[in-house]
Amino acid sequence: MGGEDQPNSTTSLLSRPYYSGSSSTPPPEKTTTTVPFISLLLTTCLALSVTVAIAILLFSSSLHHSQVNLQISEAIAKFSRPLPKLKHPVVILISSDGFRFGYQFKTDTPNIDNLIKNGTEAEEGLIPVFPSATFPNHYSIVTGLHPAYHGIINNRFFDPKLNETFTRPTGSNVSKWWFGEPLWETVVNHGFNASTYFWPGSMASKGKWTCQEYFCKQFNESVPFEERVDGVLNYFDMPSSEIPVLMTLYFQDPDAQGHEVGPDDPDITEAVGRIDSMIGRLIQGLKKRGIFEDVHIVLVGDHGMVGTCDKKLIFLDDLAPWIKISSSWVEADKAQLGIRPPANYSLVDVVANMTKGLKKVNNGKHLKVYLKEKLPKRLHYAASDRISPIIGLVDEGFTVTQSRPGGEKYCGGAHGYDNNYFSMRSIFIGHGPRFAKGKKVASFKNVEIYNIVTSILDIKGAPNNGTRGFPNKILVPSR
């Protein structure tokens, strides 16, 4: 806390106070002895003269020193890049969870607008990977891999080889779940520091990345957003060779509100305003350190949000006349469906019977089930044993669940749908030396971000699903 207020070497140098005679001379002590008046006067005059002489010397020396400093700071202002403080490009990768594309128009967002105006923006948003869920997308952003290849195929999933289920609380810091090479591992493999102020996957050790305490924060959603921003800013007060060249920063809003109230509610507007103020706090902290224009800020979200309500429900129990689906088969529901029937069932028959039933049941036309190998190729959602053998795509805003809720309301918001839906898009904004000012680019998938970041950092990334040469479309050449 309060890291933003800690002076750095530049500010403390410039704000060094002038010395003065009064501060270096202790106040005369009151005397009660009887001394001849003339003698006392002479002694006092002599003492005062010496004090004034010392004061003048110190003052002029200090004045000269500060004039030199002023000249140096003017020179720095004229040639602000590269600052000696940043010996290497730095990327701050920020995620605002569930920041649906378009939220930035809901309210005044002067700080996000500043980044957009002076940076590069995906004009119609950033496309998530399927499923448009939090963990798969955050990990695709930092690995450049589709979920089938990075292993985190959903927020919760079963691994038949391990015969274990991944959950966020139990699996976040266990390396065996996390495949691929996340950015923080790539960075430390190249001999630089990286830091993670929260990001899915960051707590798992990978290669040389061991989630060291100072550089890797254990996720705790109750840490105030201000503390997170200040924590990132504090890294810039380290010796230049130790400043992490990649810093992640994560906010769980406005996703938290989106689930509760859906995307069109004053609570969302308020949450968006708060995220904007955190971006403002970061910008101010960087400006205070004189490095705002030299740091790369990449602001993204993991997915969008769409309103759901209790009239848009599909119940698996309704399919019983055609096929009885046990709740133990269901590995994913709500915005997508994942089913793993026991081995003695024919998967083809299960799909056929479900498809027959869905033609008859209420809202059934809004759910389409596939053998995962038959899903549209653009979803890249087959090449992992962790992906359920049968996948159902749910129409936007509909919810599939096992049974009718007893009076429970289902109104709120959801994500996880087909990543083709516009409502599932989030934002991409890049600001800094490698991002052209005011540039707009077409929407792209978040698996491209890994290569964009490694290009800015000028390090060789691991093989991934990003498009070769894509960073050249987004970035300006390095100098």
Binding site for Zn ion (CB under 5 A): 97-98, 134, 255, 302
Burial of 267 (0-12, 13-18, 19+ CB in 10 A): middle
CB nearer to Zn ion: give 413 or 432: 413
Q: Give me the sign of the Cα torsion angle 236, 237, 241, 242.
A: negative
CB nearer to Zn ion: give 258 or 466: 258
| Contacts for 82 with CB less than 8 Å, ≥ 6 apart | 294
Please report how close the Cβ of residue 98 comes to Zn ion at its closest, in angstroms.
Answer: 5
CB nearer to Zn ion: give 230 or 418: 418
Please report how close the Cβ of residue 93 comes to Zn ion at its closest, in angstroms.
Answer: 15
Catalytic option among 134, 143, 186, 399: 134
Please report how close the Cβ of residue 320 comes to Zn ion at its closest, in angstroms.
Answer: 33
Burial of 147 (0-12, 13-18, 19+ CB in 10 A): buried
Please, which residues bridge with residue 439 across strands? 120
CA–CA gap between residue 447 and residue 458 (Å, rounded): 18
CB nearer to Zn ion: give 155 or 402: 155
Which tokens hold the place of 398?
């509909």
CB nearer to Zn ion: give 39 or 222: 222
CA–CA gap between residue 325 and residue 346 (Å, rounded): 13
Phi, psi for residue 248 in degrees, rounded to 5: -105, 150
Please report how close the Cβ of residue 138 comes to Zn ion at its closest, in angstroms.
Answer: 7
Please report how close the Cβ of residue 141 comes to Zn ion at its closest, in angstroms.
Answer: 11
Residue least distant from Zn ion (Cβ): 134
| Contacts for 426 with CB less than 8 Å, ≥ 6 apart | 98, 99, 100, 101, 125, 126, 128, 300, 301, 302, 303, 304, 446
Which tokens hold the place of 143?
């690995």
Our answer to whether residue 143 is catalytic in this structure is: no
Residues designated as active site: 134
